[in-house]
Every structure is written in structure tokens, then in C-alpha cells.
Amino acid sequence: MKAVVMAGGSGSRLRPLTIQRPKPMIPIVNKPVMSHILDLLKRHGITEVVITVQYLADLIQDYFGDGSAIGLPIRYSVEETPLGTAGSVRNALDFLDDTFMVISGDALTNFNLVDLINYHKQAKTLATIAIYNISNPVEYGVITTNSLGQITHFQEKPSRGSVMSDHINTGIYVLEPDILDFIPSNTPFDFAKDLFPMLHDKGYPLYGYVAEGYWCDVGNIAEYIRATANALEGKVEGISLGRYIGNGVWAGQDVEISPTAHLEGPLYLGNSVQIKDDVSIRGPTVIRDYTVVDNGAQIDRSIVWRNCYIGERAQLSGAVVLRQCSLKTYSTVFESAVIGDGTIIGEGAVIHPSVKIWPGKEVEPGAIVNSSIIWGSQGRRVLFGRYGVTGVVNIDLTPEFSSKLGAAFGATLNKGSVVTINRDTHRSPRMIKRAIISGLPSAGVNVWDLGSQPIPVARYFTKISRAEAGVHVRLSPFDQRVVDIRFMDNEGLNISKDNERTIERIFFREDFRRVYLDDIGIIDYAQNVRERYIDDYLKLLNTKAIQDFGFNLVIDFADAPIANVLPIILDELQCNVVALNANIDKINTLPSQSQLQTTLKQMQLITTALGAQFGARLYPGGEKIIFVDDRGNLLRGITACALMVELALRDAPGSTIAIPTNMPNIFEQIAERHSGKILRTEMETDALVKATHTHHVIMGCDGKGNFIFPDFHSTTDGMMALAKLLEYLATQKISISDITLNLPPYFVAERRVSCVWEAKPRVMRLINEKFSNDKNQDTNYGIKVNLGINKWGLIVPDPDQPYFRITTEAESQIEAEALADEYAQIVERISPLE
């Protein structure tokens, strides 16, 4: 059988390791990772190989030649431009005339490929994918199969809240040549993202073979270190480490070891390595060919490439040192630091953890390096969470970090672009905002400072101005020590996951764009931000109907910037307002739960006493809102959402409303009354925003105080929700209590079940298998089992916390609680790690 080895990747996440070599040429112990793959292919009967190359292709071709040195004929398919995984294989069309294998040249594995091939032949399918179980699959393509091994679902790098299995695509396939007919020529096309989902959608059966053994995608520096350690520890069968000399040490030819040196395996010492007097080396450690470790040096759990010098009394701890480096006397390199090719570390210099030094640099004697040369780095593995980039002020989010983050974001935009930047009133977001502002112009990006506006105002201005993007910095609504940084696109919406990954990639590989001094961006204040929002806001409303109605309202402004915007609007609408907490507080911006309850109770009493049509409390950012009806009743989030849906569909019968999947079925009942439709979405707010932006809906709400009116803007806006409620009540001449008294009843229950991160994908797979024979199972957003007209259970992994969220609905509260307990017990029984 023939095999295609994909070796065109640049390995950007592995920089600086891949600056001077392609990713498949990164050494694992004693040879490039692709050499181990070719050895594996040869052991399992592969007779010919074609290698697809693109980035630094000459280095691969020069190293392996025609394959005669390893007894495996090799041809090459050179891509002029990147064609994607499938496109690169189609480029080798003339070579592939029978069943063939595709394998990545930059992963380390010892799978039994013969078993995989036999499975493919028995399945009689176009494609068999080798799949593998891992505990945290969110950075990979996730595959779900049925009991026969047939693939039922593909997920490409799913979020933690949507992952459906712990089976991942390893990039190892057995394919029939007919599959090449589905791949366009000379066009970027991927197996995982494009070809396999397309074939699945067309009804072609694809199969997944659950491979056993070892597999590691050497995709970042942490995985590179892990793969090297695993190879030394014997976890990768089939890898020959050379001559064993005892005490866990393997050695090449002509190795010199002083009798006073202390070596503790597992260790690999390459050809002609010299270990001098009193050296201490503890494994897992690799010292490659022609490296000298001088007197008294200490090396612990590190990787040192060929032709290096480790000076007297130098110390390495968990570090990676690339080729032809010199670490002088008493120099120290700490955990996860990487020293690029040809770098000189001066005498007594200290390289702090996670620092990366690009090739060819020289660190002065005695220098203490705590950020990378020339570019910077941080020790975080990921930047983005559910609420953007989040961290404790001056611990996780420092001014230096934030400036670099601004530079990374700016590097994703065109030079000369405009970015809006906004903050809330607290001093912490103010500091972080100014640090971000300092980073953006360095990438040639202009900054428009919005000052401190409500979030909906900042988002709207970003949309209608010529800005390419926006940033908002806020104090977390959950913890006053924490700041959230949200990045927006030119529509004023949160940037996509792909854009988040691009920012992370630039940030972590430290590849910032530094422009020439004439191209440095300009910092200026934006003009008429609030006025443009208010003008367009009022144009959307039936202002005359609201003015004629003569509303009496009780409004809590939360001591936030909305107090600079909403009163102007309400004055234009001729509403009589009793204002609560209308003074902007720059320090105490986040009330405690007890303070919030006291404020709400006060608002209820005042609303009743004054006979107001309703009361409302805006959240500090202006995105969410809480309502009190004309009888002083605090409306639950679901009830408030149902109220607005009823009013909206009365106003526009036959329209569509977007609602998350965890909301009760009363919304379908309400829609049916008015010939409307309900569009169900994922539970996260971003999913609701996306639905209102991409579908023709008139409103979206989530039962948590978030309301979206896409005719104005596809983002959550509590101020617009308040105005639309005024308009509905005025035009329909009805009170809130009249509506809520006639809403269908609903009974829901919720539970949380703890589950360690590593077990979540496995638990989802097992739950999915448990209910797989149920025809009423819905796996679009979590696992939802419909048990009756108004009876269902939903199980969803929380994307940010180590637990599962369970929501149930039934015909009574007792029944809903019992069903929630039942589903919680199912998760609890499965969740302990085997």
C-alpha cells in the first residue's frame, strides 16, 4: 500500500523552534518526528510514500532524499501555495491509483496501521478515520460514531460547552482513490473542515476506527516537551533510542561521561556528547549530538539540541535549548523557556519561565530576562474565555500584558484601521484601557477613545462609524477584582472564535507588527457618540404613541454611565421618571447580592406606591434589564421574556423570535397564538446574538435579562428593551399585569453536577450513547430528550466551569424537580473517571 505523508505545515505555534525548520523536522529524541512516522509506515508494510511539502520544502527533500537510505521509496508533491490537507493530497493524484493511507508528518504515534487498514477493508467505505480518546479534545476535530463505528457527527474545535465526545480525528486516514474526485484542484480544501463533512451530508457512510496505543500532536511547545518525555519513558513502542548504558541512560557513539557526573534517567545522550566533572543531569532529558556540558552544570527535565555548550555551573530546569547555543558560566534558564538557534546567554544571566528568545540573539552577562527578546510572551495557554480576555487586575492583567494584547489585536487589522475603545467607570478598567491604547498604535492602528459609555452605545457607534473593530474594558459583574476585555468586529459584535484564535496565535508566538514611525497610529477622542445613538434610537420608535400615553416610571440607573444616556431618551419620550441611583459611582460599581435585593425591594415598593406603569433596573453596562410590573411584582427572567415575546408577536404576527434551547415550551405556545415561529439557539448569549444577526427575527431574549432587537442592532441592549416595552404598552393600550396573568404556566428546574474537565467529553459521549436509541433525542445544543408536549430534559457541559448544567421542564414543579434529580443522577453515575 502507498501512503501520503502531509508535511507542509509551518508550525507557527511552535516558534521559535520552527523559524529555521519545518514542523516535521523538529527532533523527537534522536531524529525528526517525521522519521519516526516513516519508520512506523515501513514496519506496517507501506511500500511507497509521497510527501507533500510547502514550508521550507528543500530542508525535507534534502534530508530524506529518495528514501533509499531508509529502504522506503519517496516522492514529493510540492505546493506552490498552501492547499489545505485534502488539497495537498489531491495534488498527488497521479501517484494514487489504489487504496492508500494519509498520515500527518508532525504527530508522534505507534498505532497498529495494519489493524486500521483491515478495518477499512471490512467496512467497505470511501474513508476510514483513525480516532483516539483524549480527555480535553477542544483543540481538535471531534468525531461521534454509532455502535457500528459509522460517523454520525463532526465538530471542528468545539467549545467546552458544546463538545459531544472524547474521540478526536488524528489526521490518519485510509482512503479509496475515488474520494479524490470530490476534492477541487488547486483550491485550499481540508479533510476535517470540508471534505468529510461534505461527504457525510451527501449520505456517504464514513467510519471511525478507535485506535489504541500512543498518539500526540506535536502542535505546541508543551506538547513537544511531553512527546519527548513520553518517548524517553518508553511510552511510544517502536522507537529505538540507541545503546543502553544503564541507569536509564541511552547513548550514541563516542560519548564521554566523567566518573564524577551524576546521571538519573531517563536520558538520551547523542553522538560525541561530553559530560564533564560534577555535572548533574536528571531525566527526562535529551542532550543531542556534539553538545558539551561543562563542569558542575545542572540539567533537569530539559531538551538540548545539537552543537550546544552548557557552561560551568549553568542551570537548566524544564527548558528547551535549540541548535548551536552557548550558555555561559552560572547562567540559568527556567521552566518552559525556549532559547532560539545560535543564541548566546551571557555569564550569570537569568532567563525567567516561559520566556522565548528568537534565533541569533545575545543576552548580556548578568541580565535578568523576564520577557522575550525581541517580542514578548506570557505564560497563559489561552487568552479568551466566555467573557473575552479575563483576569485579576495587576496579577493576570497587568499594564504590560494589556499593551501586548493591544499590539496583538492591532496586528490582525489592516494598517490605518480605526479601533474604538470604551470602558466602564472604575479605575481598574481605566488603567487597562490606557495600556491597550498604548499597544494599538504600535501596529499602525488608529484609536478613537469613547470615554466611558454604556456598552450598547459603544457597540452601536462601532457599527455605524468607519471603525474596523472595537474594544470594551469592564469590571467583571461577578468579581470586582477581575476585569473583562471584550473585542468587537466592525458590526459591534463580539469577534468570532477564529479571530480569537488569531489574536492568541500572534500573542503567544510573539509575532507583533511594529510599524515605521510615520505609520504609528493616531489616538483621538470620538465625537457625538452618545448623540448618534440617541438620534437613531428614537427614530426606531413610535415616539408619538409613547408621548401621548404619559408613562409614569421608576428607573434604577445602577450608578452607571446609562445615567448619562437614558434620562435624555426618557425626557424626549415625555415620561415622568422617579430616578434611583442616578449618580455615577467610579468606585463601588458592583453591588453585593444583598444590596441588589434591597434595591429591587425598594423599587417594587415605590412602583406600587406611585401607581407607575412599571419599574426597571438596568445593569451597570446597560446590556441587561430587570422589570417590576404595575402591581409591584418582580418579573422572573423567563416571565419577562415571555411578556416581551407576547407583546412583540401581537405587534407583528407571523414573525420569528430567537430563544435559547433551555427555555420552556411556552414560547412555542405563545408563537402559535400569533402564527409566529420560535428559532431555538445554543444557550450562550453569543449564539443568540448570531441568530438575530443572521436570521430574519424581530427579537431575541434569553430569560436572563438580555433582549436583542436586530432592527436597531443585533446585540443585547437593556435600554432598547425598555423603550420597546413602552411602545408595545402604548400602542396596544394594555398593562403588564394583564399580559402576565394570561401567559401559559411553565415549570422548570435546574441542577449543577460537578465533573472534572478531563472527564467532560467522555461523559458527553456516554450520555449520548445512552440516549442514542431515543428517537426524540436532540443533540444540536447539548443532549436534549423530549419526553412529552411540555416535558424534556437537557444536559449541557458548562464552557467555563467544571460541571454540567441540567435543565428540565414538566407539567408540574414537583415533576420538573424529580426529572432534574433523575438526570443529575445519570450524570453523577457516569462522571467519575474510570
Q: What is the CATH number of the domain that holds 806?
A: 3.30.310.50
Q: Is residue 237 part of a domain?
A: no
Q: With 0-12 CB in 10 A as exposed, 13-18 as middle and 19+ as buried, what is 745?
A: exposed
Q: Residue 375 pLDDT more than 50?
A: no
Q: Give residue-wise pLDDT tens across range 50-106.
A: 999 988 889 999 999 999 999 999 999 888 777 888 888 988 888 888 999 999 999
Average pLDDT over residues 418-437: 95
Instruction: Give the Cα-Cα-Cα angle 122, 125, 129 (nearest 5 degrees).
Output: 90
Q: What is the pLDDT of residue 377?
A: 33
Q: Give residue-wise pLDDT tens across range 309-326.
A: 999 999 999 999 999 898
Q: Residue 529 pLDDT more than 70?
A: yes
Q: Residue 489 pLDDT more than 60?
A: yes
Measured CA to CA, the distance from residue 249 to residue 204 in angstroms comes to 51
Residue in the structure block whose three cell numbers are 478598567: 429
Q: Residue 44 pLDDT more than 90?
A: yes
Whether residue 776 is found in the same domain as residue 704:
no
Whether residue 732 is found in the same domain as residue 782:
no
Residue in the structure block whose three cell numbers are 559530560: 275
Q: What is the pLDDT of residue 834?
A: 41
C-alpha cell at 10: 509551518
Q: With 0-12 CB in 10 A as exposed, 13-18 as middle and 19+ as buried, what is 67?
A: middle
Nearest to residue 215, comparing CAs of 239, 240, 236?
236
Residue 523's SS3 state is strand
Whether residue 695 is found in the same domain as residue 776:
no
Q: Residue 420 pLDDT more than 70?
A: yes
Q: What is the pLDDT of residue 296?
A: 94
Q: Give residue-wise pLDDT tens across range 198-241.
A: 999 899 999 999 999 999 999 899 999 999 999 999 999 888 88
If pLDDT is split at 50, 70 and 90, which confidence band does 468 have?
very high
**How would you list the strands of the sheet with 699-701, edge to edge?**
677-681, 656-660, 699-701, 707-709, 713-716
Measured CA to CA, the distance from residue 323 to residue 359 in angstroms comes to 9
Whether residue 670 is found in the same domain as residue 699:
yes
Q: Give residue-wise pLDDT tens across range 776-790.
A: 777 777 888 888 888
Q: What is the pLDDT of residue 461?
A: 97
Q: What is the CATH number of the domain that holds 589?
A: 3.40.120.10
If pLDDT is split at 50, 70 and 90, which confidence band does 276 have?
very high
If pLDDT is split at 50, 70 and 90, which confidence band does 376 have?
very low
Handedness of CA 236, 237, 241, 247 (dihedral sign): positive
Nearest to residue 641, comparing CAs of 660, 618, 654?
660
Assign 3-class secondary structure to 546-604.
HHHHCCEEEEECCCCHHHHCHHHHHHHCCCEEEEECCCCCCCCCCCCHHHHHHHHHHHH
Q: What is the pLDDT of residue 766?
A: 87
Measured CA to CA, the distance from residue 521 to residue 515 in angstroms comes to 9
Q: Is residue 796 part of a domain?
A: yes
Whether residue 157 is found in the same domain as residue 252:
no
Residue 458's SS3 state is helix
C-alpha cell at 755: 465533573
Q: What is the pTM of this model?
A: 0.67
Average pLDDT over residues 745-774: 84
Q: At what angle do helices 57-64 and 33-43 cross, to 10 degrees?
A: 50
Q: What is the pLDDT of residue 231?
A: 94
Identify the bridge partners of residue 244 per DSSP, sorted by sequence position: 250
Q: Is residue 226 part of a domain?
A: no
If pLDDT is split at 50, 70 and 90, which confidence band does 775 have?
low
Q: What is the CATH number of the domain that holds 265?
A: 2.160.10.10
C-alpha cell at 269: 545522550
Out of 664-668, 672-676, 759-763, 809-813, pick the least confident.
Answer: 759-763
Q: What is the pLDDT of residue 380?
A: 44
Identify the bridge partners of residue 250 per DSSP, sorted by sequence position: 244, 268
Q: Is residue 9 part of a domain?
A: yes
Q: Is residue 506 part of a domain?
A: no
Measured CA to CA, the distance from residue 285 to residue 232 in angstroms comes to 8
Helix (H) or strand (E) holding 32: strand 31-32
Q: Residue 734 pLDDT more than 50?
A: yes
Q: Residue 27 pLDDT more than 80?
A: yes
Average pLDDT over residues 508-529: 91
Whether residue 424 is found in the same domain as residue 477:
yes
Whether residue 352 is found in the same domain as residue 432:
no
Q: At what angle do helices 529-539 and 455-464 cross, to 10 degrees?
A: 90
Measured CA to CA, the distance from residue 777 to residue 783 in angstroms comes to 7
DSSP 172-233: EEEE-GGGGGGSPTTS---IIIIIHHHHHHTT---EEEE--S-EEE--SHHHHHHHHHHHHT
Measured CA to CA, the distance from residue 826 to residue 769 in angstroms comes to 13
Please report, for residues 366, 452, 489, 562, 714, the alpha-carbon distance to residue 622 in angstroms, rounded to integers and kept in the order given: 52, 12, 19, 6, 15
Measured CA to CA, the distance from residue 22 to residue 44 in angstroms comes to 26
Q: Is residue 236 part of a domain?
A: no
Whether residue 573 is found in the same domain as residue 627:
yes
Average pLDDT over residues 612-628: 95
Residue 13 DSSP code: G
Whether residue 258 is found in the same domain as residue 286:
yes
Q: Is residue 585 part of a domain?
A: yes
Average pLDDT over residues 683-701: 91
Out of 339-348, 778-787, 817-826, pick the least confident.
Answer: 778-787
Whether residue 455 is found in the same domain as residue 493:
yes
Q: How many domains does the chain have?
A: 5
C-alpha cell at 226: 511531553
Q: What is the CATH number of the domain that holds 114?
A: 3.90.550.10
Percent of the chain with pLDDT strictly greater than 90: 68
Q: Residue 340 pLDDT more than 60?
A: yes
Q: Give residue-wise pLDDT tens across range 437-451.
A: 999 999 999 999 999
Whether residue 418 is found in the same domain as residue 472:
yes
Instruction: Give the Cα-Cα-Cα angle 497, 173, 151 (nearest 5 degrees).
Output: 65
If pLDDT is split at 50, 70 and 90, which confidence band does 378 have?
very low
Q: Is residue 533 part of a domain?
A: no
Q: Give residue-wise pLDDT tens across range 94-135.
A: 888 899 999 999 999 999 999 999 999 999 999 999 999 988
What are the residues whose beta carbons fall under 8 Å from the beta carbon of 636, sequence distance 6 or more? none
Q: Are 208 and 167 in contact (CB under 8 A)?
A: yes
Percent of the chain with pLDDT strictly greater than 70: 97
Q: What is the pLDDT of residue 660?
A: 94
Identify the bridge partners of residue 637 per DSSP, sorted by sequence position: none
What distance separates the 2 farthest-apart alpha carbons in the chain?
Answer: 98
Average of per-residue pLDDT values in the chain:
90
Domain span including residue 800: 748-830
Domain end point (choices 740, 756, 790): 740
Whether residue 96 is found in the same domain as residue 30:
yes
